[in-house]
């Protein structure tokens, strides 16, 4: 490290003019370099503290430093840092008194949408030394049980409005002896306990430190579910160390204590929780929490709460640009937008319309061990190769065979680095600084994300599943995701989960699920090619009700194509590429095509007329 620093400062002495001509990004690279050093130093000093210093301690530090500063603004409610601390104490004390089976080190599943209680409960459980699994509040029945079971939780805490969804899986939960609490005053189902009254009576005094004395940096802090390339969602383990590193994200993009951060992405996902919420705790900022994203409310909220920082995922920008123009479009205090996945055209349109907002595009994944920041502001690039960054996180792009869905290997069995300017698979070496913790109770999936013998025999890399390109000027560009996941409305859809759901319908023989592009829309919408069992026929209404009760809206296949046989490759993988290319145009596809019609609660025949209204944007998807 000393060598690095001295090289760095020696190079600072070189004449700036010379640098500007031979190395035009020198200053931006240098600033980034210094910032990385600063963050690294802060992290190292924290890791050395005794007793151990966790994210919860950072929150407590902030509540002592400025107890009266607003932390959460939500609808008409307003909670300061002190209020938040006390509310979470109440929950922690109530759990201690009434849920005697709950011990430090246990996992609790939280089934709740974006609301202040989500944050209070997470903090309360951190104070009790427990890990928290964030269940997506859109999932139901089979998926809900699957997600609950894969984190090994003993307790489920659900929002009042999700009682019905919990009831559906209650028999199975009771069989396993799970304690179920609902954040409501009353609850009529046996086996579920109303939590609100228990809370009222609980004291708001802090829990003793001994409650979490067993927690180490390797202890799971939260579980975040990701729809990877295969199967049902997997619970990525975010341990205490990982959570501590997440503190740096907003701090490194220039967010300050005075900022007001607009948080409308789901808290059960990485962007909302790790970046938005954890990031705000580090900077001690104010969070404006919203139940969910609304394009029409977005700027009114920004004006009402004096929001200065917004978060986005690619689609959000487009939704905002699609709203009707208003005179006060530029009348707001937003100065910074942080997120990922925006297309260059949309970004330009966004700036023209909403004024001069700085964008910080970054690349990261929930479980991955490398990330990039668009620190130079180069349009289209997600980041830049930086010496220090690459030393700390040794990553490489390798040649990939998309047809066979595997990396290309040379005669000695090693992977081949992609030349500059060519697309390759991003893999990043698994080290102590860049660990890969993996998925809960799923060693098979964890193993699948590891790639061995990459550059040397015996080395192990994390397989990001993302195809990227590095150009001759060292800029990194995101190209595509490999394999079986596609994105729709900002959510990853795992085709295998949809396939599994469809094949449970009694008349479905086989199903092949993929995403198709629709002009004017970001991402891909779900489509399924199915075969029907002999002597049976396709029933649109039955398919709709099965799909609607088992899959969240974004994962439901919008189009269904009835085939006589599902085509497979020589390795018995389903042929998708051809289907994807053929799309859903009834003029090109001779097989019968159906479209999910929400109003009719059924799949209806897709006519040429409906097809044209989709393509022209009149039919809302
Ligand atoms: C927003 O800023 C204005 C002007 O600085 C101030 O009057 C108003 O009270 C602020 N609103 C909130 C919610 O902080
Ligand atoms: C990088 O940032 C610049 C401005 O800061 C922005 O114009 C550009 O679109 C960003 N890159 C990407 C991939 O969006």
Helices 116-127 and 55-65: crossing angle, nearest 10°?
110
- Per the CB < 8 A criterion, the answer to whether 547 and 501 are in contact is yes
| pLDDT tens, residue by residue, 238-253 | 999 999 999 988 888 8
The pLDDT of residue 230 is: 47
Least confident range from 68-72, 419-423, 562-566: namely: 562-566
Q: Where are the beta strands (DSSP E) in 184-289?
A: 192-194, 220-226, 234-239, 260-263, 286-289
Q: Rounded mean pLDDT of 75-88?
A: 97
Between the CA of 571 and the centroid of ligand 1 the distance, in Å, is: 63
Q: Which of 109-113, 313-317, 391-395 has the highest mean pLDDT?
A: 109-113
Ligand 1: nearest atom to the Cα of 305: 13
pLDDT in tens, 214-268: 999 999 999 999 864 445 788 999 999 999 999 988 888 889 999 999 999 999 9
Please, what is the Cα angle at 406 between 403 and 410, to 5 degrees?
110
306 lines ligand 1 (CB under 6 A): yes
Q: How far apart are CA 255 and CA 282, in angstroms?
A: 10
Q: What is the pLDDT of residue 161?
A: 94
Quote the ligand 1 centre to 306 CA distance (angstroms). 6
Among 237-246, 395-404, 508-517, which is the least confidently predicted range? 395-404
Q: Of 150, 195, 143, which is closest to residue 169 (Cα–Cα)? A: 143
Please report which ligand is nearest the Cα atom of 302. Answer: 1
What's the pLDDT score for residue 381? 83
Out of 56-60, 361-365, 611-615, which region has the weakest mean confidence (pLDDT)?
361-365
Chain segment 155-182, per-residue pLDDT in tens: 999 999 999 999 999 999 999 999 999 9
Q: How far apart are the first and last CA of the chain?
A: 53
Residue 71 has pLDDT above 80, yes or no: yes
Residue 378 has pLDDT above 80, yes or no: no
- The confidence score (pLDDT) of residue 579 equals 85
**How far, in Å, from the CA of 347 to the mean position of ligand 2?**
7
Q: Is the full-model pTM beyond 0.85?
A: no
Q: What are phi and psi of 275, to 5 degrees?
A: -85, -55
Ligand located closest to 359 CA: 2
pLDDT at position 314, please? 63
- Whether residue 495 contacts residue 459, with contact meaning beta carbons closer than 8 Å, is answered with no
Cα–Cα distance, 62 to 64 (Å, whole number): 5
With 70 as the cut, is the pLDDT of residue 325 above it?
A: yes
What are the CA-CA distances from residue 583 to residues 304, 558, 576, 605 (Å)?
44, 12, 11, 15
Which residues are near ligand 2 (CB < 6 Å)?
342, 344, 347, 358-359, 361, 374, 377, 379-382
Higher pLDDT, 300 or 385: 300
Average pLDDT, the chain: 88
Rounded to whole angstroms, the Cα distance separating 384 from 474 reads 6
Residue 4: pLDDT over 60: no
**Ligand 2 centroid to 381 CA: how many Å?**
7
Find the range with the poorest average confidence among 153-162, 359-368, 462-471. 359-368
Please report which helix (H) or strand (E) contains residue 274, including its range. none
């Amino acid at each position: 490290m000393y060598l690095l620093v001295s090289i760095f400062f020696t190079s600072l002495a070189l004449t700036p003019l010379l640098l500007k001509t031979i190395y035009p990004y020198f200053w931006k690279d240098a600033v980034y370099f210094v910032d990385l050093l600063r963050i690294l130093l802060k992290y190292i000093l924290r890791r050395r503290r005794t007793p151990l210093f966790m994210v919860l301690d950072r929150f407590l530090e902030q509540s002592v430093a400025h107890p009266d500063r607003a932390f959460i603004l939500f609808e008409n409610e307003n909670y300061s840092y002190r209020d938040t601390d006390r509310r979470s104490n109440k929950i922690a004390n109530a759990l201690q008194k009434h849920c005697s089976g709950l011990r430090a080190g246990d996992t609790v599943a939280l089934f709740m949408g974006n609301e202040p209680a989500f944050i209070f409960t997470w903090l309360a459980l951190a104070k009790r030394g427990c890990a928290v699994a964030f269940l997506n509040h859109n999932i139901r029945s089979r998926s809900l049980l699957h997600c609950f079971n894969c984190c090994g939780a003993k307790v489920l805490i659900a929002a009042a409005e999700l009682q019905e969804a919990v009831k559906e899986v209650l028999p199975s939960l009771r069989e396993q002896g799970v304690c179920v609490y609902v954040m409501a005053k009353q609850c009529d189902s046996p086996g579920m306990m109303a939590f609100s009254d228990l809370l009222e009576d609980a004291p708001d005094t802090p829990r003793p430190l001994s409650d979490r004395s067993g927690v180490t940096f390797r202890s799971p802090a939260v579980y975040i579910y990701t729809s990877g390339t295969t199967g049902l969602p997997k619970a990525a383990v975010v341990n205490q160390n990982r959570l501590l590193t997440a503190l740096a994200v907003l701090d490194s993009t220039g967010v300050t204590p005075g900022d007001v951060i607009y948080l409308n992405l789901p808290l059960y996902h990485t962007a909302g929780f790790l970046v938005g919420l954890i990031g705000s705790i580090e900077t001690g900022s104010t969070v404006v929490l919203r139940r969910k994203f609304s394009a029409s409310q977005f700027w009114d909220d920004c004006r009402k709460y004096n929001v200065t920082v917004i978060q986005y995922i690619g689609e959000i920008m487009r939704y905002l640009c699609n709203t009707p123009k208003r005179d006060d479009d530029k009348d707001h205090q937003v100065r910074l937008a942080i997120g990922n996945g925006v297309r260059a055209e949309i970004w330009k349109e966004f700036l023209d319309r909403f004024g001069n907002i700085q964008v910080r595009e970054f690349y990261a994944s929930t479980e991955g061990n490398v990330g990039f920041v668009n620190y130079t502001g180069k349009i289209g690039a997600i980041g830049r190769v930086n010496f220090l960054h690459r030393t700390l996180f040794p990553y490489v792009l390798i040649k990939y065979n998309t047809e066979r869905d595997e990396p290309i290997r040379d005669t000695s069995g090693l992977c081949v680095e992609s030349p500059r300017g060519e697309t390759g698979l991003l893999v990043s070496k698994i080290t102590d600084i860049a660990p890969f913790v993996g998925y809960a109770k799923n060693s098979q999936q964890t193993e699948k994300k590891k790639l061995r013998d990459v550059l040397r025999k015996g080395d192990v890399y994390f397989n990001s599943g993302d195809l990227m390109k590095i150009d001759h000027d060292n800029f990194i560009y995101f190209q595509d995701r490999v394999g079986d996941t596609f994105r729709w409305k900002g959510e990853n859809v795992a085709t295998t989960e949809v396939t599994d759901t469809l094949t449970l319908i009694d008349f479905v023989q086989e199903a092949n699920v993929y995403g198709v592009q629709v002009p004017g829309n970001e991402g891909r919408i779900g489509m399924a090619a199915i075969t029907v069992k002999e002597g049976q026929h396709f029933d649109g209404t039955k398919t709709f009700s099965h799909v609607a009760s088992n899959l969240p809206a974004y994962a439901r296949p919008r189009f269904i194509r009835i085939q006589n046989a599902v085509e497979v490759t020589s390795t018995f993988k389903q042929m998708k590429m051809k289907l994807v290319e053929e799309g859903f145009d009834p003029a090109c596809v001779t097989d019968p095509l159906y479209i999910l019609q929400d109003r009719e609660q059924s799949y209806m025949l897709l006519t040429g007329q409906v097809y044209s209204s989709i393509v022209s944007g009149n039919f809302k998807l």
